Amino acid sequence: MRDEAILHVNGSGIPVKAVYSADDLTNAGEISVGSPGEYPYTRGIQPTMYRGRLWTMRQYAGSGDAEESNRRYHFLLANGTKGLSVAFDLPTQIGYDSDDPIALGEVGRVGVAIDSVEDMERLFAGIPLDAISTSMTINATASILLAMYTVAARRAGVDVKKLAGTIQNDILKEYIARGTYIYPIKDAMRLVTDVMAWAATEVPAWNPISVSGYHMREAGCTAVQEVAFTLANARAYVQAAIDRGMSVDTFAPRISFFFNAHRDLFEEVAKFRAARRMWAKIMREEFGAEDHRSWMLRFHAQTGGSTLTAQQPENNIVRTTLEALAAVLGGAQSLHTNGFDEALALPTEQAARIALRTQQVIAYETGVTSVADPLGGSFYVEAMTDEIERRAQAYLKTIADFDDNGYGMLRAIETGYVQREIQIAAYAWQRKVDAGEAIVVGVNAFQSDETVAVPVERRDESLERRQVERVQMMRARRNPERHRLALKELREAASGGANLMSPIVNAVESNATVGEISNTLRAVFGEYKENIVL
């Protein structure tokens, strides 16, 4: 590298030079190894990328009860959405029914309330499940919600082997960043791998896990940490599946990823490219995968929720546009764009439409889809790709040293190492904002006393009462003996070593609720209690 003053350090702590040249590339001035569609997929997983097929345009939605969310899904589909993404409320996420005392005040608040398969049927009423792709952001209860989705599809006459979509099912990042876990880590990992094994034969077109860096980034980690911690989690899942007796190439092609599209456009593009290259090497060199699909990092991206501001919320449209552009330039397979009003409330229909139109304008009006990896060969982007990989690899080595058996990430989580690293990064960023070293337009610079009236989505307060009544009436009319036997079978399976998905599906078919199934497993596994000292 030439000697010159370093004028800037980015969010990952990487010094950024004023000008880049071939001398700054790690590989003796070479541009990224391989072409798009070729190992190690730095430049994209398909030879022509979006000229062959655009990314799936999704909008994350769900609030209140199934009927209310169903109306929003029909609205989104009518406006050009090609895939649905379901947000569940907190009781559903942590395995409690809507009438449980602990759920009071939270039913339908941050997502849709789903208690039984009947709710799932109402959620997708009138939507052809064999013609759309559905993503479900659910983790601790992922096995139950996937079972409900497949049973609802079967009842609608759909061949479940044709179902396409993704269940997040990434429990490790819950212990790190979100907190919607239920069971001890070992038992939670068992459920994750049970879903992976079951899905391989029962819903072969489904992605049984989406390893998520998004929520860690929302918690404050850097781009480098997002890559490192996400891939470390993915490594642990692959090792766990292999240890359960699965051959790597039977499940690895269906592993997907979920990343944040954040502020720094070029750093984000480089991040996506580095993650693809690193995963390809991990799968081929470390795990011996032979199927080229096992080497491909396929990812969904969502624009940064933590970058949205309540001050001057219209500025969020610009932020989301640039973040979406970074995801597209970085080669995303699926994308959600946030509503500009999400720092204030759940997005209105207007905000959701603008967010979707943002993707459509990028796709059809900008020309960025005409070329695969259009920033490939940029000295800056290539140098940043190399540096992110180098720094992320250092994290991976540190994490691997926690455990010699492939479960370093589990131990790193249990000791609080990962959580501490994220907290340090989040604190450093906030200090920069507070000191004015990092500019957030409308917050610590370019402020305005003008107040812009933004319509806010209002919640129907009667929804919670109706949902409680609905689940109670369902319990009163179901077959009690069939229900009892189904939960007994599930409890026995959990006490042994059998795959839990078939007993869960059987329980769902008996109209067992999310809370009842979760409580059956709680009785066997217990609950996770965080006891680390940060």
- Residue 27 predicted with pLDDT over 80: no
* Residues contacting residue 84 through CB under 8 Å, at least 6 positions apart: 58, 59, 61, 73, 76, 77, 127, 132, 133, 134, 135
Strand partners for 164: 133
DSSP letters spanning 451-463? PPP---PPP-TTH
Residues 400 and 309: their CA atoms lie apart, in Å, by 37
Strands (E), 102-254: 133-137, 164-167, 206-207, 209-212
What confidence score (pLDDT) does residue 26 get? 75
For the chain, the average pLDDT equals: 94
- Tell me, yes or no, whether 478 lies in a domain: no
Residues 430 and 534: their CA atoms lie apart, in Å, by 18
- Residue 481 predicted with pLDDT over 50: yes
Segment 201-214, tens digit of pLDDT: 999 999 999 999 99
- How far apart are the two ends of the chain, measured CA to CA in Å? 38
- Residue 2 predicted with pLDDT over 50: no
* Residue entry with tokens 């001057």: 312
Instruction: Quote the pTM value.
Output: 0.95
403 phi, psi to nearest 5 deg = -155, 130
Structure tokens at 412: 């790193």
What confidence score (pLDDT) does residue 1 get? 42
Domain with residue 131: its CATH number is: 3.20.20.240
- Tell me, yes or no, whether 91 lies in a domain: yes
* Residue entry with tokens 């996506």: 272
Residues 53 and 529: their CA atoms lie apart, in Å, by 45
- Tell me, yes or no, whether 533 lies in a domain: no
What confidence score (pLDDT) does residue 454 get? 83
- C-alpha closest to that of 269 among 379, 369, 376, 359: 376
Domain containing 91: what range?
8-435
Give percent of the chain above pLDDT 90.
90
Residue 142 or residue 6, greater confidence: 142
Identify how many contiguous H helices and E strands the chain contains and give both numbers. Answer: 20, 11
- Tell me, yes or no, whether 506 lies in a domain: no
| Residues 201 and 247: beta-carbon distance below 8 Å | no
- Residue 239 predicted with pLDDT over 90: yes
- C-alpha closest to that of 298 among 261, 330, 340: 330
| Residues 145 and 138: beta-carbon distance below 8 Å | yes
Domain count, the chain: 1
Reported as a pLDDT band with limits 50, 70 and 90, residue 346 is: confident
What confidence score (pLDDT) does residue 377 get? 93
- Tell me, yes or no, whether 117 lies in a domain: yes
Q: Is 304 exposed, middle or buried (0-12, 13-18, 19+ CB in 10 A)?
A: buried
Supply angle C-alpha 170, 173, 174, rounded to 5: 90
- Residue 102 predicted with pLDDT over 70: yes
- C-alpha closest to that of 171 among 204, 196, 206: 196
| Mean pLDDT of the 273-279 span | 98
Residue 447 or residue 455, greater confidence: 447
Residues 241 and 257: their CA atoms lie apart, in Å, by 17
Q: Which sign does the torsion angle of CA 456, 459, 460, 461 carry? A: negative
Cα separation values, 198 from 29, 241, 399, 499, 503, Å = 46, 12, 29, 8, 11
Segment 398-428, tens digit of pLDDT: 999 999 889 999 999 999 999 999 999 999 9
Per-residue H/E/C for 8-72: EECCCCCEECCCCCHHHCCCCCCCCCCCCCCCCCCCCCCCCHHHCCCCEEEEEECCECHHHHHHH
- Tell me, yes or no, whether 94 lies in a domain: yes
Segment 512-528, tens digit of pLDDT: 999 999 999 999 999 99
Residues 464 and 449: their CA atoms lie apart, in Å, by 38
- Tell me, yes or no, whether 285 lies in a domain: yes
Q: Is 23 exposed, middle or buried (0-12, 13-18, 19+ CB in 10 A)?
A: exposed
What confidence score (pLDDT) does residue 5 get? 57
Residues 503 and 489: their CA atoms lie apart, in Å, by 6
Helix (H, G, I), strand (E, B) or coil at 492: helix
* Sheet strands side by side (includes 334-336): 206-207, 164-167, 133-137, 83-87, 56-61, 334-336, 298-303, 255-261, 209-212
| Mean pLDDT of the 234-251 span | 97
The secondary element (H helix, E strand) that includes residue 261 is: strand 255-261
- Tell me, yes or no, whether 246 lies in a domain: yes
Segment 278-294, tens digit of pLDDT: 999 999 999 999 999 99
Reported as a pLDDT band with limits 50, 70 and 90, residue 28 is: very low
Residue 478 CB neighbours (<10 A): 16
Strand partners for 322: none
